[in-house]
Structure formats: C-alpha cells, structure tokens
Structure 1
Amino acid sequence: MTLKKTLGFTLATAGLMSSALAADIRFDGFPDYDSQLEAILGGFDQHDVDMLMNEHGGHHDKLKTNLATGSGAGDVVLIDRGFVGSFINQGGFVDLTEEYAPYKDGFADYAVAQGTSADGRQYAVPVDLGPGVVYYRRDYMEDMGYDLDDVMTSWDSYIDYGRELKKHDVLLMGNAMALATAYWNFNVESGNGLYFDANGEPLVTGPRFQRAFELAKTVREEGMDANIAEWTEEWYAGFREGRFATQMSGAWLLGHLKNWMAPDTAGNWGVSNLPDNTYGTWGGSFLAIPKQSDNPEAAWDLIEYMISEDMQLAGFQNIAAFPAHTDTYDDPMFGESIDFLRGQKARLLFADIAENVEPVEPHEGDQIAESLVTTALEQVLNDGVDIDTALANAERQIKRRVR
C-alpha cells in the first residue's frame, strides 16, 4: 500500500509501504484526518490510497460542486456533521444500507440516524463523534470554592456563576455565541429537527431559539464574555492566559488544548456535562462513497477498515477523534486518568454522553438555516437588533431559500 497526500491540489508523496501498484482509490477530507490516515494505513494492504486534503470549508465547497457536476470527487469522502444532511439529499452518494447493516448496531444510534435519508437508507457512515461538554478552569471553580454540580444545575445557575466570576475579574466564556449554539442544538423537541419540524416548516421563531438568544444576550450585555471570535489567535491566547473560565465545545477540544492551544495549562482544566444535564453532540464526521467513484467496492473496503474497533481506537489516540463505534467504550483506555484534566477519567463522561444523545432527523435545509440563524444571533449580540425581529427575518429568508 502506498499513500499519496495532496494538500490544496499540490502533490506530495508519503510512502508508508513500498508498492509497484498505482493508487486505485482516493480519500478526500480535511485535517487532522491526514494524520490519522498516515498513522493507520500501514495496516491496510488491500488497495493503494491517494489522499486529497483541503481546509474544512474548502473541502466541503469542493465536494458540493463535485456532487452537483457528477465529477471530481474522491472514492471516499469525509463529511462534517453540519453538512451531511444537505449532501445526502443531493442524491450523489452510494446506498450503503446493506454493507453497513452488520455494523450499525455497534454505533451510536443518533449518529447512524444522521447518515440516513428521509426513507431510512444509509448513505453516510459515522466515523467519529463530538459529545457536547463544558471545559472549565478548576482554578476558577473548586479552587475558588464553587461547587460544579451547583453551577451546572441549570442554564440560569451557569450564568449566575458568570456573574460571580465577574467580581474576580474573570470572564465566563470567550464568546456568548457558543452558549446560544449549545442551547438550540441540544434541546430539540421530540419529533423535530434542528431547524425544521416533521413537515419541513422552520422552527426558528419558536421558544427554543428565543431562549437560546436570550441566554447569549444576557451574557453579552452583562459583560460576561470576551466577545472574541473563535479559532483566532486572540481566542487561543485567552485559553493560555486564563481569561475565561469555561468553554462549551465537543469532547475533541481536549486534544487541541493539550497538544497546541494551551499545553502549559495542564492540570487547570476539568470537563463537565452541559448545564441541566443536557446531552448533545458538537461535531462529528461521516464517510461516504460518491456515485461517481470508479471503485466503490474498494472504497467500501477502506471505510470498513476505518470503522473497525481497532482503527476507531487508533483515531482516538492519534487525533482525539471520539469513536462512533460504541463497542470500543469497554476498552481500558476509557478508564484511564487524564493528567491534563487533573486526573479526571473524562472519557467515561464522553462515552456516557455519546450513548444518551437522542437522534435528530437531518433536513436538506439545515446548512442554510444554520447560517441564517447564526447571522441573526450576530445581529442581536453585535448590532442591538431585537430578538423577535432578527428571528422573524431569519425565518422569512429560510422559507425563501429552502424549497
């Protein structure tokens, strides 16, 4: 097996094993899955693999074009959770229902559901999950006399904690938008999708979004967030310098904090359920085979390899990609103490969340709705627009753009 890696269309080769054969399947994805593939493909000797990596947004833009035109996509493609519903509804993926049937019971139910079409056919297979959690600074929690259980009793008690922190010149979070995003994503009513009900009607003017916006607005207006855009150098510096006490995110943030964002803060962190014992998923990735692939059987061989228990655990070790394969949760690794989190056995918490998240039906308009609701939230927080007005405007645009 030989692996060739292409970053942004500039070819580079990384031969993991010598072979006289040309690569016969291509994997299209985004970092850090290049690190994962480089680590695991030495054990995959069925086919040679090319790897085409683009940054997250560019990869999904390219794939959208590839599916629309019927050409240019790899044999196996990686898809972020936020895009999977709209891509499945484009109709450009191979139906994997029969191939995946022997495996699906061993995977998180909600993730399996997210990879299906409206008629229940499996077009995308979950490869990693993002259990939703709150990372918190222990030096601003128990070391200052606050009780974590009390703080996380409800969304209101969490904000009350932020008010207490202000007395010590500590901010609750980097950006209040994360609070709103967590609330509307993780409090979905039974039978509804994230943004649409069972009949395809938008939900964004309903009480879930109202409450989410109100919580974020309270945090912003009372000066409890840094109003820093996430994934910027200033945001990273906030973690290193201890400017804010908590961050709502996926379990995967641990790898970033530990490996490059704030390694010198080891021992200052812990991780918790979201307020009100809320279960939800923050991210996650899927694998699919475009119909345009010339080698769908070989492509499935690669997917089958990547979703095996051993490779799921390897992804957890290599890039902190939390396994979608729930049978891995009995591995001794999950009971290990994590020094960065002051000895907390956090993987047990991640697994508990992953096994308790309720499935949410994807809708082809989710990506459009998410963008418009996020813009509405920015208008409320940054421009002083009234919540009702912002959400009503978002609903009108959603109805116009989603047919």
Structure 2
Amino acid sequence: MKLSRHTKVAAAVAGAASIALLATACSSGGSESGSDGDITLTVTTFGTMGLDDLYAQYEADHPGITIKPTNIDTGGNALTDWQTKQAAGSGLPDVQAVEEGWLSKVMQVSDSFTDLNEYGGAENSADQVSWKNEQATDADGRLIGYGTDIGPEGLCYNGALFEAAGLPSDRESVAALFGGDDATWEKFFEVGKQYTDKTGKAFYDQSGFVWNSMVNQLPEGYYTSDGELNVEGNSELEARWALLAQGAADGLSANQTQWDWGGGKAFIDGSFATFVCPGWMLGNVKGNVEAAGGDATSGWDFADVFPGGAANWGGTFLTVPTTSKHPKEAAELAAFLTSTESQVAAFQAAGAFPSTTTAQADPGVTGESELTEFFNDAPVGQILGSRAEGVVAQYKGPDDSVIQEQVFGPSVQELDSGKADGPTAWDHAIDLLNQLVAQ
C-alpha cells in the first residue's frame, strides 16, 4: 500500500486493526439470487480505481446480473473491513479488491479464496506482467487474484511554483534538475532545500509518502524476500530515514494530513511544490485540485524522473472469496474488470496504470486523456510506461501495512511537527515495531 493506495478526496487514514484471520473458508456469502433467477454480485473496492462506469457496462451486457458495489475510502480501511468480515465468517463480497500491501496477509488464508484457474484464470491473466501473477499465486499454484494495475512512480510538480522560485519548469529540464536517469534522493532533498530557502515554503506535502516511496524501491523493504522482518539494524532504511529527517528539519515538509490536504486546498495555494505520484495518484491530484476550485491552470505537471530510480507503489487484485454463492459469475466479472479494455478505461478514469502489457501499449493509455490535459499536456501514459521499466514489486510481508502506517506513521508525524529528531523518531518506531509486530 505500502501506504494504502487509491484514496478519494479528503479521505481519512485509519490504522488497520490487528485481527486474527481464519485459516479456513467461511460459511456464508454476500451474493444474492432473486426468485426470478437474477443474480446480484457484490463488489468491495477502495479509493479511486476507475471501475464505476464498467459496472454499468457489464450489467447492460449481462441481463440478469446486478452489481452492488461498495467503495471504502482508503486501502487501510479496506484491510480492516476485510479482516473483520474474514474473522466473523460472514459479510464478504463476491469480488474483493486486495491491495498489494496486504496481499501477503491474504495469502496466509489463500484457501478461503477461489482458485481462478478453475474459471479460465491462466488464459485470462496471460497478459499480466509476469511478477503480478507470481504475487497472486499461492504455494499450491492457486491463482487467487487478477491484477488491475501497477504503481510505477514519476514526479508531480507545480511548474508555476518552480518558475517563481527560479527553477526550470519544463518537464525535460525538471527531470534533468533531479539527475535524470541518475536521480537520487540526495539530489531531491538538495533541490528541495534550494526551493524552501528561496520561497520560505515547503517542497512536498508531508514525509509519509516520501518515506513510503523510499522504502518501496529498495530490493527488500520491511521484510526480506524470504519473509523475515528487515527493519531493526537495516542500514539502508536508517540512511534513508536520516535523509528524510534532515529534509523535515530543513522545512521541506508542509506537514499536511495524509489523504486530506484541506479538502484539496493545499494543492492550489502554494503549500507545496512536489508530490510523489504513482499512476493511480494522478487522479487524486486532479480530484483534489478540482475539489478546491482549481483546474488545469493550477500549474501541476508530471515529469519522467524519480529519485533513486524505478519504484512501484501499489497495485490491486480482484479476488473471489469462497463464500460467494456465485463463484463462476463473480470470476467472470473479475476477469472483465481486469481485461485489457477495462484497464484502459480505468486508466482514463483514474490514472491506474495497467498491469497488462497490451493495455500499457494501447493508444487509450499512451495517447491523450483528461489527465494529459490536466497535467499541462504531459504524455502521462508514456511517462508511466517509461517509469515502469525495471519495476519489480517488492515482497510485502504480512504486517507490511501495519509497519508503514502504525509503526512509522507516528514517527513521520514527529519529524514533520518537529517533536523529535531523526534518531529519536527512529527509536520510537522500533519501540512500536516490537509492540505491534510479532518477531
């Protein structure tokens, strides 16, 4: 997640509850059948996944199928919702969206999800980037989810604010400013300090998203690739934390509330000038600007560069819990919602960058869209395709989202508020790690 991805404007983050998971399939499902044989399929998603118009299309093409969607504001809250229903043994939908950051937790009870191979899974997922299918395949070879998107990251920046600060504002020059293909976090914070010293304003909205991106692009993050905790004593994490802490001390963070931004106002009032942007976040930027009364003239742009190189933040799967009374129909719906055509539509609606290679190359992704127009005519799809080169999603352990949100979340807030320096905030995070995460 990974901070939880896909979030609506002004959504509030809630920590994921630690609830015991059931290791066996539950007994009751969420789908409904009317006396006339019609079927209602329930779908639970989160944030801005760009699927709403697709529901109506599917219903029109499948008489007798009614889709009853539920959208939860954040991925963290969606995790809590899923855990609660999984533990209770009731209330799960026919199609459940699962965020990459808590997929490992889901995999602990993978036998409570339908093996999509029973419904054409291999054929339906053949065009997914290879590592996406690997993520959703359990130890017994069961495919439990179809990928909707991946989260390659580029850099959103406000060209008008850059120009006012005496920095270059066109995309190519901005990419070069941060080092181009050799961009580093050191250079990012260096430029940020120049901007803040010149303007007296913050460079990025808050440190949490920056930290999340810094962690996600490492070969191994909070867990090693073989599933061992990898936080305490991790010199790479500590070095990046030191950079983040210095950035906060230098005033580069606007100390915004995650997923809030004052109802979007901070995106149009000059509160900050850069924003880390996986594809799905582009729709959030646009939505926040518009919610605050802004538009494409607000100055936001999108550059083909990212500190530290290729990085992936997010990516979601559609699964079918075994509690569904209509697993075949649910699997068919999940396949439709993750088809090439649907992924192109979701990208155009929300910026979710496709996880199928065919969709990535489709003119509907590489060409013009509402996002292109909003981001100063930036070739958004082409940039994301470039940023996806070399991306392989990091292994996420079962408590990855807990570590990101509940362990490091408070310490990030300490940095941004000035309540603690880097070493002190790190020690506080380690204390929380030992309290909240089984060693």
Q: TM bucket by the smaller chain?
A: 0.7 to 0.9
What is the distance in 2 between the residues matched to 1:130 and 1:256?
A: 14
Query: Does the 8 Å contact 1:179/1:248 carry over to 2?
Result: yes
Query: Does the 8 Å contact 2:367/2:379 carry over to 1?
Result: yes
What is the distance in 2 between the residues matched to 1:215 and 1:43?
A: 53
- Residue aligning to 1:359: 393
In angstroms, what is the RMSD of aligned CA positions? 2.7
- Residue aligning to 1:375: 410
Code of the aligned partner of 2:427:
T
Code of the aligned partner of 2:407:
L
- Residue aligning to 1:397: 435
The correspondence of residues 71-220 of structure 1 with structure 2, limited to 5 A, is: 71-91=90-110, 92-97=112-117, 99-118=120-139, 121-141=142-162, 144-146=166-168, 147-148=173-174, 149-152=176-179, 153-166=183-196, 167-187=198-218, 189=219, 192=220, 194-205=221-232, 206-220=234-248
Query: Does the 8 Å contact 1:183/1:208 carry over to 2?
Result: no
Q: Which is bigger in relative contact order (C-alpha 8 A, separation at least 6)?
A: 2
* 3-state SS, counterpart of residue 148 of structure 2: strand
- Residue aligning to 1:313: 344
The correspondence of residues 277-292 of structure 1 with structure 2, limited to 5 A, is: 278-292=309-323
Q: Of the candidates 40, 49, 56, which is equivalent to residue 66 of structure 2?
A: 49
- Residue aligning to 1:304: 335
Q: Deviations over 1:324-373 (max 9, x none)?
A: 22211222233335222222212111123334311323322323332323
What is the distance in 2 between the residues matched to 1:213 and 1:176?
A: 10
What is the distance in 2 between the residues matched to 1:21 and 1:315?
A: 30
Tell which deviates more after alignment, 208-217 or 53-62: 53-62
Q: Deviations over 1:360-395 (max 9, x none)?
A: 233223233323233343345443161552343244
The correspondence of residues 230-379 of structure 1 with structure 2, limited to 5 A, is: 230-234=258-262, 236-262=264-290, 263-266=294-297, 268-276=299-307, 278-337=309-368, 338-370=372-404, 371-379=406-414
Code of the aligned partner of 2:62:
D
Q: Which runs of 5+ in 1 are unaligned?
A: 1-19
Q: 1:183 to 1:89 in 2, by over 3 A?
A: same
What is the distance in 1 between the residues matched to 2:343 and 2:71?
A: 22
* 3-state SS, counterpart of residue 177 of structure 2: helix
- Residue aligning to 1:5: none
Code of the aligned partner of 2:257:
A
* 3-state SS, counterpart of residue 383 of structure 2: helix
Q: 1:312 to 1:216 in 2, by over 3 A?
A: same
Query: Does the 8 Å contact 1:179/1:215 carry over to 2?
Result: no
Query: Does the 8 Å contact 2:318/2:334 carry over to 1?
Result: yes
Query: Does the 8 Å contact 1:379/1:390 carry over to 2?
Result: no
Query: Does the 8 Å contact 2:113/2:322 carry over to 1?
Result: yes
Q: Deviations over 1:47-81 (max 9, x none)?
A: 51331414235443232122223322111111222
Q: Does 1:66 align with 2:85?
A: yes
Q: 1:347 to 1:243 in 2, by over 3 A?
A: same
* 3-state SS, counterpart of residue 134 of structure 1: strand
Give the deviation of 1:89 after TM superposition: 1.4
Tell which deviates more after alignment, 204-213 or 104-113: 104-113
Code of the aligned partner of 2:352:
A
**What's the TM-score once normalised by structure 1's chain length?**
0.84
Q: Which runs of 5+ in 2 are unaligned?
A: 1-35
Query: Does the 8 Å contact 1:84/1:124 carry over to 2?
Result: no
Query: Does the 8 Å contact 2:184/2:309 carry over to 1?
Result: no
Query: Does the 8 Å contact 2:115/2:142 carry over to 1?
Result: yes
What is the distance in 2 between the residues matched to 1:31 and 1:22?
A: 29
Query: Does the 8 Å contact 1:184/1:208 carry over to 2?
Result: no
Code of the aligned partner of 2:191:
Y
Query: Does the 8 Å contact 2:279/2:353 carry over to 1?
Result: yes
Give the deviation of 1:277 after TM superposition: 5.2
What is the distance in 1 between the residues matched to 2:125 and 2:390?
A: 16
What is the distance in 2 between the residues matched to 1:201 and 1:224?
A: 33
Query: Does the 8 Å contact 1:85/1:115 carry over to 2?
Result: no
- Residue aligning to 1:8: none
